[in-house]
Structure 1
Amino acid sequence: MSAHLPDDRDAVREALIAWYETDHREFPWRRTDDPYRILVSEVMSQQTQLSRVEEAYADFLDRWPAVADLAATERGAVVSFWSGHSLGYNNRAKYLHEAATQVVDEYDGEFPTDPEKLQELMGVGPYTANAVASFAFDNGDAVVDTNVKRVLHRAFGVPDDDDAFEAAASDLMPDGESRVWNNAIMELGGVACGQSPRCDEAGCPWRRWCRAYETGDFTAPDVPEQPSFEGSRRQFRGKVVRALGNHDELTLDELGPRIRVDYAPDGDGEGSEDWLRGLVGDLADDGLVEVTETEEGTAVRLRR
């Protein structure tokens, strides 16, 4: 599989950002640009369900509302809090406390603003540093986590290779907009393009470009088993698109037999002309095909 990013990058970017800004999950760390609070949320979120993180995050900041407060407390108190809230490995609590101490002692209480400098803080790796730089300072690179990899692999055929993911993510991210972009693409992976995709239900803004949506093949690096789609609507959507890709235009009478051997235009239910019209109508609504009435009948072609 080779990556195939759309030519119209601006349209892809605008669609995703508009989708995110219209409606997205509300988390408290999305309502702040305080690097300390964002760092706390990022460390807590490592392999921990977000529903549990929300409660722990609020309790943590009630107790230590600023980086100086955390640095001034005993490390044991932080570890005890971490364990008491079931936040996973206690080393994360130790590293978070040490990072707070570094910010106070080495940076006069001010966080570094770029990913490279942020990585000098204890326990802050490339991903966390980039997330803090993005969400606190709008100064990060494209974030690439499991959700982002899944989206890029499915939508644009980016191969399961870290360098390829980094390159594609960087290519797509608009300059100077790391905060909104990284939030938006991670939201897409978390809400619409999870291991079990919810493309239509979540109103995925990339359906018109997405290869997985076109073909019905939703495998991904973290989804090794291909979901069953034999005989599904998604499978026939893909067959329609592939058939039209080989012809400039097809009437429904020509298209039907090409996508299923049991096509019966006068029948009822699946395989009938009414069923095919509904299938083609969905593709037209998604901007993938154009439907026109001609002397030969209803004609369908790929949207150019």
Structure 2
Amino acid sequence: MTDGDAGSEGRSEPDEALPEDLDAVRDALVSWYEADHRSFPWRETDDPYEILVSEVMSQQTQLDRVVAAWRDFLDRWPTAAALADADRADVVAFWSDHSLGYNNRAKYLHEAAGQVLTEYGGDFPETPGELSELMGVGPYTANAVASFAFDNGDAVVDTNVKRVLYRAFAEIRNADDPDYETVANALMLPGESRIWNNAIMELGGVACQKNPRCDEASCPWREWCHAYQTGDFTAPDVPTQPSFEGSRRQFRGRIVRLLGEHDEMDLDTLGHRIRVDYTPDGEHGREWLRGLLSDLADDGLVQVEEGDDQMTARLQ
């Protein structure tokens, strides 16, 4: 990896973040997806209205819960025209009854259907830029609809895709400011946004989860994946768990266990019992121990009493 120009320090050129055998990487992912993938009804249609409904419903909602709601919604309002003609209160009530999250999404979806009729003559716009003009349709949703309805989008980059890219490519992991969008678009099969975005999102949802299932899900990128080769599966949404040994969590646990064995203990006796290098005026001394006890008191676990000569602690 080489340094970029002055405006992109810490970033790599997209080609440098990709494996040399790019065609093999692409073919492996698409073949894996086509051989077996989760079945969702919106993957069986290219109707932009139906896809838009699925995308809006899927925001922060588990996909398995969306399926029934999506079918019920389309049974009631099968087209953008039908939705535009509906009473907005009915649409919001449906959203609430099906526990689909923020009711504003229902209002925006109703408004977007009206825009399609009045501003586009009933025909959905086909590019991400035009779709983003619809009410409540942000860049991600606009690109998803363009991809899945019209095969006319860029690479989709959601949390799952970022996790895949971060784990798979060392250059992404090592960059100070990873340019996920640029790398994702360089990786995507040109002109194949529908199949590609479905495939890489499936990879993140099935194989490259927060707790990875590389072998169980037969991840097609194992031979290229940096995380699989090194065993380091951290990612932007999967922080490294701080070490327990020597942590505040460890000493808080020791305090609670000791106080459970004794009615009460004074500060220095407790300190010497929980760590061998305790010295009252040292780095791990009274001030450090008071901080731990204060945390435990805030949690309602410990009661601390200040006397004339000493501080004592007991369990609540």
Fold agreement, TM-score > 0.5: yes
Q: How far off is 1:174 after superposition? A: 1.0
Q: Which amino acid in structure 2 is aligned with residue 8 of structure 1?
A: D
Unpaired stretches in structure 1, ≥5 consecutive residues: 229-304
Alignment match, 2:220: 205
Alignment match, 2:28: 15
Matches within 5 A, 1:3-82: 4-82=17-95
Matches within 5 A, 1:144-293: 144-157=157-170, 158-159=172-173, 164-225=179-240
Q: Is the 8 A contact 1:142 1:170 kept in 2?
A: yes
Sort the Cα spacing of 1:63 and 1:151 in 2 relative to 1 into closer, same or farther, 3 A.
Answer: same
Q: Deviations over 1:92-137 (max 9, x none)?
A: 0000000000001111110000000000000000000000000000
Distance 1:186 1:63 in 2: 29
Q: TM-score, normalised by structure 2?
A: 0.70
SS at match of 2:191: coil
Distance 1:120 1:29 in 2: 22
Structure 1 runs (4+) greater than 2 angstroms displaced: 1-4, 159-163, 225-228
Unpaired stretches in structure 2, ≥5 consecutive residues: 1-9, 244-316
Q: How far off is 1:227 after superposition? A: 10
Aligned alpha-carbon RMSD (Å): 1.7
Aligned residues: 228
Q: Is the 8 A contact 2:17 2:183 kept in 1?
A: no
Sort the Cα spacing of 1:201 and 1:173 in 2 relative to 1 into closer, same or farther, 3 A.
Answer: same
Q: Is the 8 A contact 1:17 1:181 kept in 2?
A: yes
Larger Rg: 2
SS at match of 1:33: coil
Q: How far off is 1:8 after superposition? A: 1.2
Q: TM-score, normalised by structure 1?
A: 0.73
Distance 1:161 1:91 in 2: 36
Distance 1:224 1:71 in 2: 44
Q: Which moved more, 1:76-85 or 1:2-11?
A: 2-11
SS at match of 1:111: coil
Q: How far off is 1:226 after superposition? A: 5.1
Sort the Cα spacing of 1:226 and 1:154 in 2 relative to 1 into closer, same or farther, 3 A.
Answer: farther
SS at match of 2:219: coil
Q: Percent identity?
A: 74
Q: Is the 8 A contact 1:217 1:227 kept in 2?
A: no
Q: How far off is 1:163 after superposition? A: 5.9
